[in-house]
């Protein structure tokens, strides 16, 4: 049998409830076959609705959902060859682990011997064999997740849809299970679509990160693109790791602009392709927190072509490999520098110290 | 030592004390009196002679009438149980899984209880003008030419008894089944759908097993009520059918207390046996304390 393709394409997908509430507004998205895609956004942004529409548990009000080249709108989940792993797993509480995993085969009319043979093979692979006869209530969170994953995978779907799969687990287990999900995806070689509101989870796992807000996609792309090169203020703030600043354009010259505000004096920001800010207009720009260097005033001047803003240290948090230093650079807004641990302790800063927050001009990024 | 036991269990004893104050004088003591009376002799005029005997039980177990009565009563019990289960299950299923609006579901659920705003007896009697020879159904059937003679099986028959019982008792099925179905996580049903289960598969493999405890509770209500009733059988069968309780009610009306007491004790054990059998199929504690 030729392998069925599991690439997904959403074209103009909309979903409204009761003809009024727009849950999803005209989503266009391509997920390549065998990719790990994370839909990332705060609760209520429509990410779960998209997942449920791909799964066939909800129908889009408008638009097309194409899986493997075939429009699947209106088809039941089985005909789509998708499988869903539900939030908090939705295991059948009255069935043993073995029967939970075998359920899909049972309703397909396989005999007991046949389906148990298939299930036992899979259980061995995901290390569930010794739990085969337990009920879901007798399992730990991590074990339940493995059962849910096995139950979804038993039918060899071409797309696996995961709704907040890690949210029911504690921190340590979450990181462990995250790796297991990724390993499983690579082993099965199928498309995974994973809904989460945790930024770290998304960028650690995904080939394609889709950042959503209020039913719309704000940015979609490889994890590094989304994290390091956010398109707009929302993405930059939601993914974290960036300081977002704003100001008025003073002048545009060549390939950069100069931005100023009451706190910022002539900060140079490189231009971005396709963005042409007007002099006198307001712009946002972002600076990665780990590109901000802190120097004591008068130590050795700011780097050439760099920005330097005098600020006071408000708080210091030790994070292990780096130190998070919070500054009062812009009143009422967070401005943080991630200082490598060793460099920080060469000359430790204390709360109240005045420093210069500096960064090379080319590392600032203009936002939409 | 007594103090030690009190310290350990005192709080628990205090907790059950109010219930015990009701159960002991109003349930346990009368049961003991009935039990004692069943082993004594009557003087034929309503008095009881204090000489122990097993004659009441011997008469009961050697009489063919006893077995006929149990056969009749159990027949009605099984029929009533089956129909009220069928109705109760599907009404609860409809309310929980098909009515999307929760407010509407609760409203419809309350609507199910509306008939209970009138007394049992009135609800039963009101079947008579409907089912009687000159009743609505017969008139309608003859009016549209379905039959030329009134259908006699409708009233004062086993049919009428079962109709009245099902009408009275279906709510006792609906409530506990609704309760256990309402606790089923909708995502579990969706997961079954996702695995490719048909509507029937979902019912058979997910919903029925997960509402088992509600079905068991409802069955206990229905079985124990029908087994312990005589009035509906008496009125709706027009005297054509008898029941276990009906028989010892007759004994009491002719002042034969000890034989009536013996029948009551036997019935109690039979019903306890049935309830125990039902409870064996489910873990009822799960329903009470999830």
- Report whether A221 contacts A357 (CB < 8 A): no
Of A11-15, A254-258, B255-259, the poorest mean pLDDT is in: A254-258
List Cα–Cα distances, A285 to A188, A218, A296, A362, B262, in angstroms: 41, 16, 24, 12, 93
Reference A151, options A106, A182, A109, A187; nearest CA is A106
Interface pTM, i.e. ipTM: 0.78
Strand ranges inside B25-168, DSSP E? 41-42, 48-49
Q: What is the mean pLDDT of chain A?
A: 87
Contact between chains at A107 and B194 (C-beta distance less than 8 A): no
Same-domain status, A54 and A176:
yes
Contact between chains at A107 and B209 (C-beta distance less than 8 A): no
Same-domain status, A267 and A210:
no
- Domain finish residue from A175, A193, A228: A228
**Spelled out in words, what is the top-level CATH class assigned to the domain B64-288?**
mainly alpha
Same-domain status, A248 and A194:
no
Residue A173 located in a structural domain? yes
Among A55, A82, A92, the residue with its CB nearest the CB of B188 is A92
Taking the CA of residue B176 and the nearest CA in chain A, the distance in Å comes to 18
How confident is the model at residue B86, as a pLDDT? Answer: 96
Task: Give the Cα separation of A278 and A159 in Å (integer).
Answer: 46
Reference B270, options B46, B110, B66; nearest CA is B66
Q: Does A77 touch chain B (CB under 8 A)?
A: yes
How confident is the model at residue B201, as a pLDDT? Answer: 93
Phi-psi region at B94: left, alpha or beta (left = phi > 0; alpha = psi -120 to 50): alpha
Of B83-92, B128-137, B215-224, B225-234, the poorest mean pLDDT is in: B128-137
Contact between chains at B190 and A86 (C-beta distance less than 8 A): yes
| CATH code assigned at A298 | 2.40.50.100
Same-domain status, A183 and A216:
yes
Contact between chains at A92 and B206 (C-beta distance less than 8 A): yes
Taking the CA of residue A317 and the nearest CA in chain B, the distance in Å comes to 41
Q: Among residues of chain A, what percentage have pLDDT more than 70?
A: 97
Q: Rounded to a whole number, what is the distance in angstroms from the first to the last CA of chain A?
A: 47
Among A57, A103, A152, the residue with its CB nearest the CB of B190 is A57
Q: What is the mean pLDDT of chain B?
A: 88
Token pair belonging to B77: 């019990």
- Per CB-CB distance under 8 Å, the chain B contacts of A55 are 194
Q: Please say if the pLDDT value at position B245 is more than 60.
A: yes
Kind plus residue range of the DSSP H or E element containing A326? strand A322-327
Name the DSSP letter for residue B76.
H
Residue A2 located in a structural domain? no
pLDDT digits (tens, 9 = 90+) for B150-164: 888 888 888 999 999
Taking the CA of residue B276 and the nearest CA in chain A, the distance in Å comes to 22
Q: Does A103 touch chain B (CB under 8 A)?
A: yes
Give the nearest chain A residue to B208 (CA atoms).
A94
- Per CB-CB distance under 8 Å, the chain B contacts of A104 are 195-196
Residue A236 located in a structural domain? no
Average pLDDT over residues A43-52: 90
Q: Please say if the pLDDT value at position A344 is more than 60.
A: yes
Q: How many CB atoms lie within 10 A of CB B27?
A: 10
How confident is the model at residue B70, as a pLDDT? Answer: 93
Q: Please say if the pLDDT value at position A304 is more than 60.
A: no
Residues in chain A: 368
Contact between chains at A155 and B205 (C-beta distance less than 8 A): no
Q: Please say if the pLDDT value at position A221 is more than 70.
A: yes
Q: Does A168 touch chain B (CB under 8 A)?
A: no
- Sign for the pseudo-dihedral over CA of B13, B19, B24, B27: negative
Residue A118 located in a structural domain? yes
- Report whether A250 contacts A266 (CB < 8 A): yes
Between B94 and B288, the higher pLDDT residue: B94
How confident is the model at residue A208, as a pLDDT? Answer: 93
Give the nearest chain B residue to A108 (CA atoms).
B196
Average pLDDT over residues B51-65: 89
Same-domain status, A290 and A312:
yes
- Report whether B191 contacts B162 (CB < 8 A): no
Question: What's the 3-state SS for A204-224?
Answer: HHCCEEEEEECCEEEEEECHH
Same-domain status, A220 and A258:
no
**B286 — pLDDT class (breaks 50, 70, 90):** low
- Report whether A70 contacts A6 (CB < 8 A): no
Q: Among residues of chain B, what percentage have pLDDT more than 90?
A: 48
Indicate the domain borders of chain B.
64-288
CA angle B166, B168, B174 (to 5 degrees): 75
For strands A21-31 and A8-17, give the pairing: antiparallel
How confident is the model at residue A240, as a pLDDT? Answer: 84
Judged on CB neighbours under 10 Å (0-12, 13-18, 19+), B132 is middle
Q: Does B185 touch chain A (CB under 8 A)?
A: yes
Same-domain status, A48 and A93:
yes
Residue A180 located in a structural domain? yes
Count how many Cα atoms sit within 13 Å of the Cα of residue A221 in the half-sphere of its side chain. 11
Helix residue ranges, H only, A126-245: 141-153, 171-188, 199-205, 223-228, 233-239
| CATH code assigned at A71 | 3.40.50.300
Average pLDDT over residues A7-15: 90
Q: Does B188 touch chain A (CB under 8 A)?
A: yes
Q: Which domain holds residue A117?
A: 8-228
Same-domain status, A200 and A287:
no
Same-domain status, A275 and A341:
yes
Task: Give the Cα separation of A77 and A148 in Å (integer).
Answer: 17
Q: What is the largest CA-CA distance in chain A?
A: 81
Q: Please say if the pLDDT value at position B35 is more than 90.
A: yes
Same-domain status, A78 and A117:
yes
- Report whether A13 contacts A23 (CB < 8 A): no
- Per CB-CB distance under 8 Å, the chain A contacts of B282 are none
Count of structural domains within chain A: 2
Reference A160, options A141, A127, A184, A142; nearest CA is A184
Same-domain status, A222 and A249:
no
Reference B202, options B97, B84, B105, B92; nearest CA is B97
Q: Does A135 touch chain B (CB under 8 A)?
A: no
Task: Give the Cα separation of A102 and A219 in Å (integer).
Answer: 39
Q: Is A272 helix (H, G, I), strand (E, B) or coil?
A: coil
Residue A322 located in a structural domain? yes
Q: Does A83 touch chain B (CB under 8 A)?
A: yes
Same-domain status, A23 and A170:
yes
- Per CB-CB distance under 8 Å, the chain B contacts of A18 are none
**B69 — pLDDT class (breaks 50, 70, 90):** very high
């Amino acid at each position: 049998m030729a392998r069925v393709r599991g690439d997904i394409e959403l074209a103009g997908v909309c979903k409204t409830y009761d003809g009024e509430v727009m849950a999803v507004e005209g989503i266009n998205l391509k997920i390549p076959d065998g990719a790990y895609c994370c839909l990332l956004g705060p609760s209520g942004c429509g990410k779960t609705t998209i997942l449920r529409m791909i799964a066939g548990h909800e129908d889009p009000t408008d638009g097309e959902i194409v899986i493997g080249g075939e429009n699947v709108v209106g088809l039941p989940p089985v005909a789509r060859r998708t499988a869903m792993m539900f939030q908090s797993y939705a295991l059948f509480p009255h069935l043993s682990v073995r029967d939970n995993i075998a359920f899909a085969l049972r309703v397909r009319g396989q005999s007991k011997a046949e389906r148990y043979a298939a299930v036992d093979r899979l259980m061995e692979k995901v290390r569930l064999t010794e739990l085969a006869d337990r009920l879901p209530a007798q399992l730990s969170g991590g074990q339940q997740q493995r059962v849910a994953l096995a139950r979804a995978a038993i039918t060899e779907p071409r797309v696996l849809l995961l709704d907040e799969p890690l949210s029911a687990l504690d921190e340590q287990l979450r990181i462990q299970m995250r790796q297991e999900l990724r390993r499983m995806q690579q082993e099965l070689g199928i498309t995974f679509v994973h809904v989460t509101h945790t930024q770290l989870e998304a960028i650690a796992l995904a080939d394609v990160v889709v950042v959503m807000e209020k039913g719309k996609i704000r940015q979609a792309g490889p994890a590094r693109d989304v994290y390091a090169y956010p398109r707009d203020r929302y993405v930059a703030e939601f993914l974290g790791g960036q300081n977002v600043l704003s100001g008025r354009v003073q002048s545009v010259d060549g390939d950069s602009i100069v931005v100023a505000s009451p706190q910022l004096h002539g900060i140079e920001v490189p231009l971005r392709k396709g963005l042409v800010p007007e002099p006198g207009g307001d712009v946002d720009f972002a600076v990665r927190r780990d590109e901000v260097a802190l120097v004591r005033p008068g130590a050795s001047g700011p780097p050439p072509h760099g920005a330097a803003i005098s600020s006071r240290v408000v708080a210091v948090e030790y994070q292990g490999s780096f130190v998070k230093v919070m500054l009062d650079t812009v009143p009422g807004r967070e401005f943080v520098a991630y200082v490598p641990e060793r460099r920080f302790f060469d000359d430790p800063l204390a709360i109240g110290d005045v420093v210069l927050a500096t960064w090379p001009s080319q590392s600032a990024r203009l936002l939409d | 030592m007594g103090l030690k036991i009190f310290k350990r269990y005192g709080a628990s004893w205090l907790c059950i004390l109010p219930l015990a104050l009701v159960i002991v004088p109003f349930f346990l003591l009368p049961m003991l009196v009935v039990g004692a009376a069943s082993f004594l002799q009557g003087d034929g005029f309503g008095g009881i002679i204090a000489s122990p005997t097993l004659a009441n039980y011997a008469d009961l177990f050697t009489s063919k009438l006893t077995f006929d009565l149990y056969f009749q009563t159990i027949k009605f019990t099984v029929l009533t149980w089956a129909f009220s289960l069928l109705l109760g299950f599907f009404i609860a299923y409809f309310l929980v899984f098909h009515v999307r609006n929760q407010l509407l579901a609760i409203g419809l659920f309350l609507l199910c209880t509306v008939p209970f705003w009138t007394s049992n007896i009135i609800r039963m009697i009101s079947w008579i003008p409907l089912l009687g020879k000159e009743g609505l159904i017969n008139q309608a059937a003859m009016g549209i030419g379905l039959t030329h003679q009134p259908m006699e099986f409708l009233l004062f028959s086993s049919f009428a008894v079962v109709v009245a019982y099902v009408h009275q008792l279906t709510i006792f099925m609906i409530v506990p089944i609704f309760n256990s179905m309402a606790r089923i996580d909708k995502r579990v049903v969706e997961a079954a759908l996702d695995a490719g289960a048909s509507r029937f598969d979902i019912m058979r493999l997910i919903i029925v097993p997960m509402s088992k405890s509600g079905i068991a509770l409802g069955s206990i209500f229905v079985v124990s009520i029908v087994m312990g009733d005589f009035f509906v059988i008496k009125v709706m069968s027009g005297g054509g059918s008898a029941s276990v309780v009906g028989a010892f009610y007759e004994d009491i009306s002719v002042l034969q207390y000890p034989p009536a007491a013996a029948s009551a004790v036997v019935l109690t054990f039979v019903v306890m046996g049935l309830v125990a059998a039902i409870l064996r199929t489910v873990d009822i504690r799960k329903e009470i304390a999830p």
